[in-house]
Structures are given as C-alpha cells and as structure tokens.
C-alpha cells in the first residue's frame, strides 16, 4: 500500500484532523520493498486436499461465520475473554512495537509511544481494526470523538474498543 493510498484510507476513516495524522504517518512509515525469491528457490505452492477428502474444508468468510454464530450469554463471555481480549492486546503490541508479554493491564498508552496525541490514538484505532478484534462479527472500532488521556491503561483501552464497536455485535451487552 502506498502512502497516498494510506492517506486516502485514513481520510475516509478520520475525516477531521487528518493533517496531523498524515504528518505523523509520514514520519513513521517506511516503505519496504517485497523480498525477491533467492536464486534457485521457487515459492512452494500451497497444496489443497481433494474436495472428497475428509481433510478438505471449504473456506468460510467472516460474514458466513458471523451468520452461524448466534451466541448465548455464556458463549459471549468466553468469546470476549478468549478471542476479543487477546486480539486487542495484540493490536496494542503491534501498534507500539512491543512484545505482548511485556504489556500489563495497567500499562499506560502514553508510555508506549514517544508522544501521545490524536495521531497516535488514530494509529492505535487503525491497528485495532487491522487485527479484526470483533471476528467473527463484521464490526470494527469507530474512532473516539475525543483525545483520550495519556494515562489511559490497556485495560481501559479494551473497554473503550468494546464500547465503540460499530455495528454492535450480538455480544454487545456482555460484561
């Protein structure tokens, strides 16, 4: 994805205040050329099992998964703890470039980046959405309409992500 494409995507997601986001993204983005295969080595093609094989499973889209997922409250609690929470933490780790095992629930977001501001917050929202934290639901996090305090913790961020899900998932009311 080029910087121009990234800028247009950001302006779609964040119509106001994008100049600061572009400035921050321009400083942080590093274009890495794709790796070329080494001489003599060809990429290994993926082998798909025959359709009649018991190992063959059709690929399912996120919408198809969500359509068959009508959870009861117990399933929602498990989904939130076992799938949603780890994805949010992985998004934070990816955003700040830290390994997930060094993050704690009381780690402050402002301590994870050189300068906390609207640009850093918007990048965190984008990282959260890239992790598809609401899978199998076709939801994403809507950006908060205010700048969060630098001392917002990861546990608080998780609750904020949950609050700003759009559209609301079937597990919306889960504590």
Report pTM. Answer: 0.61
Could you read off the pLDDT tens digit of each residue along the chain, which spans 175 residues?
A: 676 776 676 666 666 554 454 444 444 444 444 555 556 666 666 555 566 655 555 554 555 555 555 678 888 899 999 999 999 999 999 999 999 899 999 999 999 999 999 999 999 999 999 999 999 989 999 999 999 999 999 999 999 999 999 999 888 887 7
What's the Cα-to-Cα distance from 151 to each of 54, 103, 105, 120, 146, rounded to whole Å?
52, 14, 12, 13, 14
On whether the CB atoms of residues 112 and 96 are closer than 8 A, the answer is yes
Task: Spell out the domain ranges in the chain.
Answer: 1-30, 62-166
């Amino acid at each position: 994805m080029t910087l121009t494409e990234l800028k247009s995507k950001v302006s779609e997601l964040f119509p106001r205040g994008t100049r600061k986001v572009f400035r921050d993204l321009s400083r942080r983005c590093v274009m890495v050329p794709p790796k070329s295969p080494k001489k003599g080595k060809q990429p290994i093609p993926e082998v798909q099992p025959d359709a009649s094989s018991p190992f063959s499973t059709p690929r399912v889209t996120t919408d198809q998964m969500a359509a068959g997922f009508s959870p009861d409250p117990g399933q929602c609690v498990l989904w939130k703890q076992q799938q949603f929470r780890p994805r949010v933490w992985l998004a934070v780790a990816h955003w700040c470039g830290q390994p997930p095992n060094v993050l704690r629930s009381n780690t402050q977001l402002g301590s994870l980046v050189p300068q906390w501001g609207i640009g850093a917050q918007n990048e965190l929202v984008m990282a959260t959405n890239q992790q598809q934290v609401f899978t199998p639901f076709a939801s994403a996090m809507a950006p908060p309409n205010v700048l969060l305090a630098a001392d917002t913790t990861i546990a608080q961020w998780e609750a904020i992500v949950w609050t700003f899900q759009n559209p609301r998932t079937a597990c919306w009311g889960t504590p």
